[in-house]
Amino acid sequence: MIRTLPEPKQLTEGGTLTRSFTHLRAEVEAIGDVPAEEVRELAALRFWNFPAILTDDTGADPFPLRIREGDGGAADVEKPDLFAEQGYVLEVDAAGATLHARARDGLVNGLTTLKQLISEQEAAGGTGAFRIPTCRIVDHPSIPVRAVAPTFSWYAGYGRIGFDMQLWGFDEWEQFLHQCVDQKVNQLNMVMYGYWPFEFPEYPETTFSNIPVQVWNQENGRFIDVAYSHPNVVDNYLPRFLELAHRMGVKVLAYVGLNSYNGGWSIAHPEKRMVPPEGSDFLNDFDSVCLSDEESVDYILASMRRIAELGFDGYTLEESEEGFWFCNCERCTERWGRHASSPGEAKHQANTELLMRIREEVRAVNPEVIIGIRAYRQPPLEKDPAWLQATADALPDDVVLFWAPALYVPPTEFEKWVAAFGKERIWGRDSESNSITSTMGRLYRTFESNMVRYDDEPNVQVIERDIEQHISSVEADVHGINGYIFEWFGLFLHLFAHGNYGWGSRMDQDEFFERVGATTFGDELGARVLRVMRSILTIHESQIPLYTTPFPFQSNKMTDADIPRIGQAIADHDALLAEIRAIRDELDAHPRFRFWSKHFDRLENAERRNRVIYDLVLAALAYERESDPARKDALLDEVLHHNERDFAIAKEMFFDVNPVGWTGVRSCMMPYHEMKRLIHNIRHPQSPDDDIICSGIEALGWLWLAEKES
């Protein structure tokens, strides 16, 4: 049975296997505008994890791979134009493999499928020689764009320094790019919030260069002060990365703020920020700048121009989620505020004017640049159709949307957006399961089953919801999907989901997850991997009742009724941790699976922390039940003890673990520090510490959901 992913459109299995072979010999011709020699080079690139499989040595009796321009006799394809651009026909028989394509993208996709046939055979237990199934595959995507949004610098300087892929050099990004193309993903929306991860000579204070950070020194048991620069600032690998992506038909966009978190400008120049209403208690008055200040506008335009000059193919411009107030300076009030019915409307008007100036600026550098926005997300969540249509009509036709609704509203809301903006302008939706996990202090969450009382959570974003949104997006025949991958290690299932369901599959979810495991690791090991990832139970430290600082991403509080479920997780822990370690050992022992083992380093660290957090939760619940003051105080000591244990395990793996407060608001992804502050205030109400440490700057923007709930 052939089980390649993404699921192909037409698959006819021959029912036999080819002869055994160890190498392929490519016989190529030009494909579209790709000359024959580059076709050969692309074949070598696509077999990135089989580096010696292509050969010209006839003595090795290689299996023929014939690459030909044309449609391969394909008939009855669902979308002829997409088939011509990105489709292929792959035929495998006893005489060899023949790949037909008309363009670069189709060539890359066809080579990818051939490699998957070989990879699947190896995962099934092949040992050095391959026999692949005979078949005929006629395939193309259902929609043109399947994008993922990884982080290049996410809130760097505003709430953290960096983690996971934000710390990568060229080698790691190269491997990730190959793995994206393995899933037929053809666009990367690189998230760059905070200090710019590239040189910017006009505004050096906004570049991610020599930023102070405290790094845990395990040898001496103390933090040390160092200056850290983004890897791309140290080694300018971005041009090489862009060139490689473009060779494989992948566009790379800059996912940046429209007027928020643009470099370190508002950190270095706090006087440039929007002016909040007098007497307000809004915390995030630091993300956006006053748009009546021409110096700030000039900076934003220069930033966008710089991004275009670096070679990015376009922009995802995100409008700040803060819609409850707008700049109250005299100039902004006169220009926008007094003419608008609400602060949110004033913000939209000002941002639309800025968008038009950005559009003009960057199109002067690259007339073909893609301009997209992620906007209009503030309450009311269910929009008036007339307002939506007026908003759509006010935008130039070449400005596309990287966000459209689904979660928190009825399905009909998405239909309204498609009707107003047009399906060709919808390039993404709210598929943020992975990015929500990345707010949780390096813990793990993928499935509904990873949470206690998932049905009680106001934030429902898990991988199951992402898949449902991709399916309905394809059914609506939109232009593209966007799936977030803010963390890679331990959370790789999201890439497979974005690729498969963005391609057009409607496969049953359980069948899909099993197929990912089987085709990646083999049936037996794949089943074990999936069982582990579904069995981990994660409770965020903030879910105890005494943690009163808002955290909107996993917010249902633990109660005594949850103790049996926690007890079961404690009973399961030792075997689960042992299985994680055993899987990693098996991956380490396999030459081609070895690069997956780091994902299980992450899962091991998360599961070890989970076990400590279970103890923390039980102690905190005992504190809530206790009435004796001395015993309550002792239970607070127990909570603090487990808090230290949790932090100690996190410090073993992650270096960005301390609060960042250059904006004037302290933030840290680790709840450890805020836990200590809250317990201090319980014990010392006469001398409280009022310096809140937010559990991530992005939590501030999401609190409008909490506002809706209240």
Rounded to the nearest angstrom, the gap between the alpha carbon of residue 704 and the centroid of all alpha carbons in its chain is 22
Shared-domain flag, residues 106 and 158: no
Structural domain tally of the chain?
Answer: 3
Rounded mean pLDDT of 83-87?
Answer: 98
CA–centroid distance for 397 within its chain? 27
Instruction: Give the residue among 680, 657, 676, 670 at the shortest CA–CA distance from 551.
Output: 670
According to the model, what pLDDT value does residue 705 have?
45
- pLDDT score, position 710: 39
Same-domain status, 554 and 644? yes
- pLDDT of 378 reads 80
What is the pLDDT averaged over residues 329-349? Answer: 94
Instruction: Give the separation between CA 623 and CA 666, rounded to whole angstroms.
Output: 28
pLDDT-based confidence at residue 381 (cuts at 50, 70, 90): confident
User: Does any domain span residue 523?
Assistant: no
- The predicted pLDDT at position 709 comes to 41
Per-residue pLDDT at 126: 61
Taking residues 236-250, what's their average pLDDT? 98
Looking at residue 708, its pLDDT comes to 40
Average pLDDT over residues 150-163: 95
User: Same domain for 554 and 482?
Assistant: no
Q: Are residues 66 and 170 in the same domain?
A: no
Tokens of 314: 């376009």
The last residue of a domain, from among 478, 510, 542? 510
CB 409 within 8 A of CB 403: no
Residues 187 and 296 in one domain: yes
With cut-offs at 50, 70 and 90, classify the pLDDT of residue 368.
very high
Region 582-595: what's the mean pLDDT? Answer: 93
Residues in the chain: 710
Q: Encode pLDDT of 654-663 as tens digits.
A: 999 999 999 9
Residues 302 and 210 in one domain: yes
Q: 19 lies in which domain range?
A: 10-139
Q: Are strands 96-101 and 63-69 parallel, antiparallel or unpaired?
A: parallel
Other beta carbons within 10 angstroms of residue 37's beta carbon come to 10
Residue 324: per-residue pLDDT: 81
Q: pLDDT tens-digit profile of 423-436?
A: 999 999 989 999 99
pLDDT band with cut points at 50, 70 and 90 for residue 591: confident
Domain membership of residue 437 (yes or no) is yes
Q: How far apart are alpha carbons 400 and 394 in whole angstroms?
A: 12
So what's the pLDDT on residue 281?
Answer: 77
| Other residues' Cβ atoms within 10 Å of the Cβ of residue 686 | 5
Is residue 597 over pLDDT 80? yes
Q: How confident is the model at residue 707 (pLDDT cuts 50, 70, 90)?
A: very low
Sign, CA dihedral 630-631-633-637, equals positive
Say if residue 468 is in the same domain as residue 486.
Answer: yes
Domain assignment present for 517? no
Residue 502 pLDDT: 98
Interatomic CA distance for residues 647 and 644, integer angstroms:
5
Residue that is written with structure tokens 């899909």 in the block: 512
- Sorted by sequence, the CB contacts under 8 Å of residue 240 that are 6+ apart come out as 170
Which regions of 186-243 does DSSP assign to beta strands (E)?
187-194, 211-217, 222-228
Instruction: Select from 465, 493, 498 the least CA-distant residue to 480.
Output: 498
Q: Is 34 in contact with 52 (CB distance < 8 Å)?
A: no
300 with 202, same domain? yes
CATH of the domain at 290: 3.20.20.80
pLDDT at 637: 98
- The whole-chain average pLDDT of the chain stands at 95
Q: Which CATH number fits the domain that encloses residue 16?
A: 3.30.379.10
Residues 300 and 429 grouped into a single domain:
yes
Whether residue 270 has pLDDT greater than 60: yes
Residue 372 shares a structural domain with residue 407: yes
Q: What percent of the chain has pLDDT over 90?
A: 90
Structure tokens that stand for 383 in this block: 């929009």
Mark which of 139, 159, 193 sits at the end of a domain: 139
The rounded radius of gyration (Å) of the Cα atoms in the chain is: 26
How much is the pTM? 0.97
pLDDT in tens, 470-484: 999 999 999 999 999
- Residue 230 and residue 209 in contact, taking contact as beta carbons nearer than 8 Å: yes
Smallest CA-to-CA distance from 331 within 344, 342, 346 is with 346
Residues 474 and 612 in one domain: no
Q: How far is CA 479 from CA 16, 143, 389, 451, 467, in A?
A: 38, 6, 19, 33, 17
User: Per-residue confidence at 706, pLDDT binned at 50, 70, 90?
Assistant: very low
The three-state secondary structure class of 525 is helix
Question: Hey, which of 53-67, 377-391, 495-509, 585-599 has the most confident mean pLDDT?
Answer: 495-509
State pLDDT tens for residues 177-228. Answer: 999 999 999 999 999 999 999 999 999 999 999 999 999 999 999 999 999 9
Is residue 370 situated within a structural domain? yes
Question: Residue 677: phi, psi to the nearest 5?
Answer: -65, -45
- The answer to the question of residue 499 being in a domain is yes
pLDDT digits 0-9 by tens, 303-328: 999 999 999 999 999 998 777 889 99
Furthest-apart CA atoms within the chain: distance in Å: 85
Final residue before a domain boundary, out of 139, 167, 200? 139
Question: Could you tell me the pLDDT band of residue 702, with boundaries at 50, 70 and 90?
Answer: low
| Residue 258 falls inside a structural domain | yes
Q: What is the DSSP letter of 196?
A: B
Task: Looking at the structure, tell me whether residues 551 and 504 fall in a common domain.
Answer: no
195 or 61, higher pLDDT: 195
668 burial (CB, 10 Å; 0-12 / 13-18 / 19+) is: buried
Give me the residue label for tokens 């204070």. 205
Segment 6-25, tens digit of pLDDT: 999 999 999 999 999 999 99
Q: Is residue 519 part of a domain?
A: no
Q: Report if residue 522 sits inside a domain.
A: no
